[in-house]
Amino acid sequence: MPLDHLFSPLSLGTVSLKNRLIMAPMTRSRAGQPGDVPTSLNAEYYAQRAGAGLIVTEASQISRQGQGYAWTPGIYTDAQEKGWKGVVDAVHAKGGKIALQLWHVGRISHHLLQANAVAPVAPSPVRAENSKSFVVLPDGTPANVPCDEPRSLSSAEIPGLIDDFVRAARRARRAGFDLVEVHAANGYLLNQFLSPNTNQRTDQYGGDLENRARLVLEIIDAIGEEIGFDRIGVRLSPGGVFNDMDDPQSEDMALYLGSEFTRRGLAYLHIAEPDWAGGQPLSAEFRRDLRLAFPGCLIYCGNYTAEKAEAVIAAGIANAIAFGRPFIANPDLPRRFQENAPLNTPDPDKFYGGGAEGYTDYPTL
């Protein structure tokens, strides 16, 4: 079938995209060490995929405290900012657009990743069951280990957390990123504040739905004052169960936040669909309601084919579709879709860590 809608241009705020094929954020654990600094290898990887309408980078921690996996890049030091600038410059040189995903993992962490080996932080001291953090053990061996029990963030610490997001966004703009994406999905810190199974607070950040949403909106407002609301996207995961999430109000929360994002004029809303991790598929009714709550640029991500993406964009359900694993194995994914060419198969054994193999060595047409 023709892919006229998928390959039509799109505006996200003040940023113009050449197509509606988004590269989804995917952790690859290949930041340079020491310091979790993006390298020329990372620049090559992203530049290879600049045919996407927009690249959303792998999640990047806004602070040392926000890290939950070894070898993931940060955006809180001068060296990290300089490394990311090299990535951005390489993508722009190939005619691409790129957004940096801002990340704090919250309770999905371990004391070996934290400064002074302290406990991770979370809205409440609720441990994530059946969830893993990737660490380097004291003997130098990398390992997946159960997440530590977190401590609760105090109310007095919240302003500092918001400042960390703002500083990260400021660095992203200095590095030349076209947009930033606030990661409020997949069971990480901001998602933990949104969900009642992880947020048991009794202050202004806990309790009813509006209070649980307060931190996300305060972060958006603070970043918006710094770089402009039209350069901000947000990722949500309604119905998501990854990282021990269980939120019966998650669709209501997404609709509430969608309307608040509309009021603020955000560049886009990015929905990570739940069924990739065992959650129930989103209903047609919810998609319709979300479209009404957020008439701006709506991106869905979750096991789409080119034909399915074309259909949902043509129907007005979404404005763009994000692809994850197909982009790992197919740097020229847009061209392959246009030419109806076969796709390379990704190698899961090389998703995380390592060097060029399984990262920048997948063949193009």
Contacts of 154 (CB under 8 A, 6+ apart): none
C-alpha 157/C-alpha 152 separation (Å) is: 10
Residue 265 DSSP symbol? T
C-alpha 47/C-alpha 6 separation (Å) is: 21
Per the CB < 8 A criterion, the answer to whether 248 and 208 are in contact is no
Tokens 């669909």 sit on residue:
273
C-alpha 156/C-alpha 308 separation (Å) is: 47
Per the CB < 8 A criterion, the answer to whether 320 and 313 are in contact is yes
Which of 45, 69, 76, 188 is flagged as catalytic? 188
Q: Which two tokens stand for residue 93?
A: 């040189």
Per the CB < 8 A criterion, the answer to whether 185 and 240 are in contact is yes
Distance of CA 358 to the CA centre of its chain: 21
188 in active site: yes
Residue 32 DSSP symbol? B
Q: Which residues pair with 144 in a beta bridge?
A: 134
Distance of CA 63 to the CA centre of its chain: 16
* 31 three-state secondary structure: coil
Please identify every residue annotated as catalytic.
188
